[in-house]
Amino acid sequence: MKHMILGAMVAAGMMAGAGVAVSGEAEDKAIKARQAVMQLYAFNLGKLGAMVKGEMEYNADQAKMAADNLVKAASISQDAMWPEGTAIEDAGMEGKTWAKKDAWTTYPEVANKHKDLQAAAAKMADAAGGGVDAIKGAIGGVGGSCKGCHEKFRAPRN
């Protein structure tokens, strides 16, 4: 009997502990996933930027690949990557995320900023195969859409 009660208490304690650990872990994973999408944006926009700056020789296939990747990355649904309680202002979030609470409280403004990026990325995909000047014409729109969202919804890092 004593053994059973102890066993039940241990099991209950483990479950409570596991519950806390799992939810924190789930939040961390969601944050990492959205940051990973951002890294995909940055990597592919970086390729196009390097061609514009002449740091990388223009190559139509490479340019199209980067622009298509941008379109694809921007079409990934991020709905599950922004759970409540994962803003930089939330408890325990410092050093994990730089997303501002305003992204949640002013919703759907952040979703509209995401649509701006999707539209700009589509224009880039149309332009990218047409030479450096065509990329130059489209890159401001993409960069502007990143900046437009960051200015409102991302806290400065460091």
Which residues of this protein are in contact with ligand HEC, per CB under 6 A? 31, 34-35, 38-39, 41-42, 45, 97-99, 103, 110, 113-114, 117, 142, 145-146, 149-150, 153-154
Minimal distance, residue 63 CB to ligand HEC, in Å: 15
- Collapse the DSSP code of 60 into the 3-class scheme (helix H, G, I; strand E, B; otherwise coil) and give the result: helix
Distance between CA atoms of residues 135 and 7, nearest Å: 66
Using alpha carbons, select from 46, 47, 43, 71 the residue that is nearest to residue 60.
47
Q: How many CA atoms lie less than 13 Å away from 73 in the CB half-sphere?
A: 23
Nearer to ligand HEC, 47 or 113 (CB): 113
Cα torsion at 115, 120, 126, 128 (round to 10°)?
-140
Nearer to ligand HEC, 67 or 134 (CB): 67
Minimal distance, residue 109 CB to ligand HEC, in Å: 9
In sequence order, the 6+-apart residues with CB closer than 8 A to the CB of 91 are: 85
Distance between CA atoms of residues 100 and 86, nearest Å: 9
Cα torsion at 138, 143, 144, 149 (round to 10°)?
140
Nearer to ligand HEC, 31 or 134 (CB): 31
Nearer to ligand HEC, 52 or 99 (CB): 99
Minimal distance, residue 52 CB to ligand HEC, in Å: 14
Minimal distance, residue 38 CB to ligand HEC, in Å: 3
Minimal distance, residue 145 CB to ligand HEC, in Å: 5
Nearer to ligand HEC, 3 or 157 (CB): 157
